[in-house]
């Protein structure tokens, strides 16, 4: 058996293989409530051989949505809408995960499908954004600097969202601390110029992230895996480096994190990214070797052989992909066939005739 199709056990959850679906925003919810689009969209990946399907960034407070059309998990009604989706994913043999998120200064923006760009005005359904410091993302409205009381409120909201997610049937919880959103903004010196206990040193800038991880872990209990998605670098002068993030990841292990989903960038418009197949693999490798923790690698991973090579080299423990699953919702079945895997337990029984030709 290839490493890619070997199961992995994290706490009480057994994931049947190591080819997973990254969270990808669909900008198709109504008041944070997901619908039939999300049901079909996510279920197809489970039918297509994914071991774990992580649903899109779901806001823990209304103000945490990237756009007015983003998914949410801050109300019981939103949680109820997720329940048939998680059941569908599990019924198809995969594990259901959710990414808990707050967009920070990059919230209240137009979706890619909207007639507009930049920040949505409050008069048009937008809202005042919040961030560690009152520093705007280029072209967006200026956020309000969060008070310590507000930081505590949002931390509590992450924990409450974790409870709703578990009640909705999710088996894995991921804390979003990447791509220029709120927790990433606190981590980076480019967006955090606070002078209190949440700013200054790396330890202080990491305080909010670690408090969130502790609260999510407390709600998850001992059996549920808790992941953190990090941007390993800001790809900009003076920003976070992979060594900084590896240090924070080590602290996050102590706070209760089990696996790090290692991406990069997204914080500032002047970032410089050299993107090529597997370009983010070294980041996952550094975090893995520094912390000894499980890591997931992402970034232009488009084939089973490529994914297998990353695992065989010891650079990551699992593979997450996004756009390749959009191009081919049966990416997992294709990769399994490329490796000559026995289709039993990977291919749905209803599809076996296609495997046999």
Task: Determine whether 181 is an active site residue.
Answer: yes
Q: Which of 27, 110, 137, 181 is the catalytic position?
A: 181
140-149: Cβ within 8 A, 24+ apart: 140/105, 140/106, 140/109, 141/108, 143/104, 143/105, 145/194, 148/196, 148/198
Q: How is residue 12 written in tokens? A: 């009480």
Cβ density class 316-336: b for 16+ within 10 Å, e for less: bbbbbbbebbeeebbbbbebb
- Looking up tokens 């294709």 gives 334
Give the dihedral sign, CA 243/13/218/129. positive
Cβ density class 218-241: b for 16+ within 10 Å, e for less: ebbeeebbbbbbbbbbbbbeebbe
Q: Tell me phi and psi for residue 67, to 5 degrees.
A: -135, 165
Q: Which residues partner with 100 through β-bridges?
A: 58, 175
Q: How is residue 353 written in tokens? A: 């005739």
3-state DSSP assignment of residue 173: strand
Q: At what angle do helices 76-91 and 36-47 cross, to 10 degrees?
A: 30
Catalytic positions are: 181
């Amino acid at each position: 058996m290839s490493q890619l199709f070997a199961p992995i056990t994290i706490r009480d959850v057994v994931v049947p293989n190591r080819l997973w679906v990254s969270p990808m925003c669909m900008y198709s919810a109504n008041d944070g409530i997901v619908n039939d689009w999300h049901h079909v969209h996510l279920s197809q990946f489970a039918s297509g051989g994914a071991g774990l399907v992580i649903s899109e960034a779901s806001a823990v407070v209304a103000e945490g949505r990237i756009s007015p059309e983003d998914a949410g998990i801050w109300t019981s009604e939103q949680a109820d809408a997720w329940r048939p989706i998680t059941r569908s994913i599990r019924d198809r043999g995969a594990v259901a995960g959710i990414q808990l998120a707050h967009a920070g200064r990059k919230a209240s923006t137009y979706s890619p499908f909207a007639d507009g760009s930049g920040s949505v005005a409050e008069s048009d359904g937008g809202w005042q954004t919040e961030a560690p410091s009152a520093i705007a993302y280029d072209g967006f409205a200026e956020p309000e600097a969060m008070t310590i009381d507000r930081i505590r409120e949002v931390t509590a909201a992450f924990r409450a969202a974790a409870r709703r997610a578990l009640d909705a049937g999710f088996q894995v919880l991921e804390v979003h601390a990447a791509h220029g959103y709120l927790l990433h903004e606190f981590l980076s010196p480019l967006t955090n110029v606070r002078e209190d206990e949440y700013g200054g040193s790396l330890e202080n800038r990491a305080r909010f992230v670690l408090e969130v991880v502790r609260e999510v872990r407390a709600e998850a209990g001992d059996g549920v895996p808790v992941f953190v998605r990090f941007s390993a670098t800001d790809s900009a002068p003076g920003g976070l480096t992979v060594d900084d993030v590896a240090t924070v990841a080590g602290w996050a292990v102590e706070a209760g994190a089990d696996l790090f989903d290692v991406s990069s960038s997204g914080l500032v418009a002047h970032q410089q990214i050299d993107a090529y197949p597997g370009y983010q693999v070294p980041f996952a490798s550094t975090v893995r070797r520094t912390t000894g923790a499980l890591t997931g690698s992402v970034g232009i991973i488009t084939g089973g052989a490529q994914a297998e090579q990353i695992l065989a080299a010891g650079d990551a423990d699992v593979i997450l992909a996004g756009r390749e699953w959009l191009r081919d919702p049966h990416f997992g079945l294709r990769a399994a066939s490329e490796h000559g895997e026995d289709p039993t337990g990977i291919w749905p029984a209803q599809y076996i005739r296609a495997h046999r030709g």
